[in-house]
Amino acid sequence: KVAGDGKKIVSDVRVAAAEVQEKGIGKGHPLLLDLLFPDGTTARSDLEGLVALRKQLPELTKGLAPPTVEQLRAAAPAAPIDPTRVARALADLAGDERKQRELLQEAKNALRSTPKGLETPKYRVLRSWRAGPGALDGVVELRSYPPFTVARKGMGGAGFGAVEGGGAGFNALASYLFGDNADGAAMAMTTPVGIDVSGGGAASSMSFVLPRDAARAPPR
């Protein structure tokens, strides 16, 4: 909604309040959301991202199990924390408004289904439909993309359904993108993250889109 359109906003709030008062929040919230947080707005996308996260977390944590005694013994000891380095980093953050804005943006993006401010390939929507019956379930889109370059990491038999397989694939690709490659070239984060699924239903690989300026000659 445009903040300057005060009369329209007041009218929408009244209509939404009347709907909720008459039908209750359970049946009245879809109209409330459509009036106050229309499809396509950042606020609506953020709400849909939070709902999706609430659904995904139980699925991701369902397969988690505490480490065994043998695994704990075999694990490498954690590196000690340098309090001086931590204090210096916090002091730098407190005095750098640009870093503060970046940190705030990253915190918001962590809860968004589609992070903002990241390069993404151009695409054309061929078809779209509601992802579920809920007002905040979001929309599924069938897209057509022109060719683009990706960095890909196989995940073996673990698949994305396993936290370990998905986490290992993501960390390896993020390390490559942020400069852990033979050329030492750091690149900007992009969207989307691709998941290739095998015939058995388990994800076989994960991929990151390479920025356009690195796509012609990707770092080794």
Tell me the helices (H) and strands (E) count for the chain, helix number first. Answer: 7, 5
Identify whether the C-beta of residue 21 lies closer than 8 Å to the C-beta of residue 2. Answer: no
Q: What is the DSSP letter of 146?
A: -
pLDDT value of position 1: 45
Identify whether the C-beta of residue 168 lies closer than 8 Å to the C-beta of residue 157. Answer: no
What is the radius of gyration, based on Cα positions, of the chain? Answer: 22
Quote the tokens at residue 35: 């009036």
pLDDT value of position 146: 93
In three-state secondary structure terms, 119 is strand
Report the DSSP beta bridge partners of residue 193: 208
Between helix 97-109 and helix 83-94 the angle, nearest 10°, is: 100
Find all residues with CB under 8 Å of 153, minimum gap 6, and list them: 169, 172, 173, 205, 206, 207
Identify whether the C-beta of residue 220 lies closer than 8 Å to the C-beta of residue 179. Answer: no
Question: Rounded to the nearest 5°, which phi and psi values hold at 39?
Answer: -55, 140
Identify whether the C-beta of residue 121 lies closer than 8 Å to the C-beta of residue 148. Answer: yes
Identify whether the C-beta of residue 122 lies closer than 8 Å to the C-beta of residue 143. Answer: no
pLDDT value of position 198: 66
pLDDT (tens digit, 0 to 9) for every residue of the chain, 220 residues total? Answer: 445 566 777 787 888 788 778 887 767 677 777 877 777 777 777 777 777 667 666 665 666 667 788 877 787 776 788 888 888 888 888 888 888 887 777 777 766 666 777 888 999 999 988 877 776 667 788 999 999 999 998 876 544 445 455 677 788 888 888 888 889 888 888 888 888 876 555 557 889 999 998 888 899 8
